[in-house]
Amino acid sequence: MNYLETSKELLEFIRKSASMFHTIDTVKTYLDKEDFIELKEGESWTIEKGKNYYTTRNDSSIIAFKVGSDLSDYHYQLVASHSDSPTYKVKSMPELDGPGDYVKLNVEVYGGPIDWTWFDKPLTLGGRVLVEEDGAIVSKLLYIDKDILIIPDVAIHMNREVNNGYKFNRQVDLLPLFTSGAMKKGDYNKMIAEELGVKEEQIISKDLFLVNRQEGKIWGCKDEFVSSPKLDDLECAFTSLKAFIAGSNDKAVNVYCCFDNEEVGSNTKQGAMSTLLHDTLKRLNAGLGFEEEEYHKAVAKSFLVSADNAHAVHPNHKELTDDENRTFMNQGIVIKEAANQKYTSDAFSQAVFKKICALADVPVQHFANRSNMQGGSTLGNLSNTQVSLHAVDIGLPQLAMHSSYETAGAKDPAHMIKALTKYYNSNVKIEGASKITVEE
């Protein structure tokens, strides 16, 4: 596998994924090319062994699955990632006057971005717009492929304390500039209508977000780094998708999950804490003609890989990471653990994944937070509140997580695809919490 070509494809995947809605649309283009069959939640499902399917919720989360042909004693093998990234959501009535001829957009934070990294960057809008057409209200994707906004910093001459730890006021400092007289208040909706090819009065409502237009790059004298917006978590969404498409297992149901709203807690109708995974697996089980008892047996023997990026050691701040349980870019996949159970990894699930990586000849690293620092959480333990199964939390090491422009190792996407393809190609047989057999 050519790691540079893989990283180039990753950057193109991210470029197309302007919002969580665009991420799922991009994932669907990959699946559609492989003749996956779409199942709509509001319709009856017909499922056959040996075929491939996907379903979506809210157009911002997706679950795809490959049904094995020999399911006499079946289970699920899942990988989950998320479609959203920290940014700023545009409010419904966004236009703010002045001073002078200025018009700014009123936004509020989505997730936990590093605010200052959004200043002085070319920005645009991405998301969905609900439009009235022929007596119905329909959803349309919007991405304005042009630099139309910027959040201007204050000159250091007017804010001498900016380099001494200035605290930004998000209702004041983070408002993007829309126009300085060339347009006027009221032109925002006109712009959106023109972009969509509809009349302004057809627009009903909008879910729009700021999008950093800074181009993703592979860089370094030896092409060892990749930098881009939204590496967290589109790097895992992309690599797990590539592995899922490449993998095959006749004795199991391989599952690809990409959930929305991880950055705001996952507690939504389409998040990892929702019923989406539970509903999908239950309907899949019933569609195959199995009784509910078979569903519970299958889940008990199943395995989840929760894939969300991890922190690499910072070159200037090694003191922020644990002395031994720390990770570096281009040195392999990270297994994440936490005593407070914010990560799902335990000795059992780590053993499963380390075995997979050994078979794939992919290096593994371990991450744990310093004991005097509180870390974040991800979607593995949250999805387990709805579908409880053995799970491991993994990721790829990166710098500047939640910056508007993040950095990772250019070789690591290929590592992840190789390991997860081996996982999807293998039959992971689990007996309680005492025995694991990985059949290639």
Q: In terms of Cα–Cα distance, which of 12, 5, 3 is closest to 234?
A: 12
Give the pLDDT confidence score for residue 382 in this predicted structure.
Answer: 86
Task: Look at residue 410 and tell me whether its pLDDT is greater than 90.
Answer: yes
Torsion sign over Cα 330, 334, 338, 343: positive
If residue 30 lies in a helix (H) or strand (E), which one and from where to where? helix 20-33
How does pLDDT run across 298-350, given as a tens digit for each residue?
A: 999 999 999 999 999 999 999 999 899 999 999 999 999 989 888 999 999 99
Written as six digits, the tokens of 387 are 């579908």
Q: In terms of Cα–Cα distance, which of 255, 252, 371, 257 is closest to 320?
A: 371
CB neighbour class for 363 (10 Å; exposed up to 12, middle 13-18, buried from 19): middle
Give the pLDDT confidence score for residue 379 in this predicted structure.
Answer: 83
Q: Say what the alpha-carbon torsion angle 391, 385, 434, 81 is, to the nearest 10 degrees.
A: -10
How does pLDDT run across 198-237, given as a tens digit for each residue?
A: 999 999 999 999 999 999 999 999 999 999 999 999 999 9
What the chain holds in terms of domains, given with CATH numbers, is: 3-85+229-439 (3.40.630.10), 87-212 (2.30.250.10)
How does pLDDT run across 39-60, given as a tens digit for each residue?
A: 999 999 999 999 999 999 999 9
Cβ(16)–Cβ(22) below 8 Å: yes
SS3 265: coil
Q: CA-CA distance, 260 to 257, in Å (whole number)?
A: 10
Q: CA-CA distance, 366 to 337, in Å (whole number)?
A: 8
Task: Look at residue 166 and tell me whether its pLDDT is greater than 90.
Answer: no
Size of the chain in residues: 440
How does pLDDT run across 102-146, given as a tens digit for each residue?
A: 999 999 999 999 999 999 999 999 999 999 999 999 999 999 999
Write the CA distances from 301 to 77, 292, 306, 322, 427, integer angstroms: 9, 15, 17, 34, 11
Q: CA-CA distance, 330 to 252, in Å (whole number)?
A: 31
Give the pLDDT confidence score for residue 288 in this predicted structure.
Answer: 93
How does pLDDT run across 57-82, given as a tens digit for each residue?
A: 999 999 999 999 999 889 999 999 99
Q: Give residues with Cβ within 8 angstroms of 202, minimum separation 6.
A: 131, 132, 133, 193
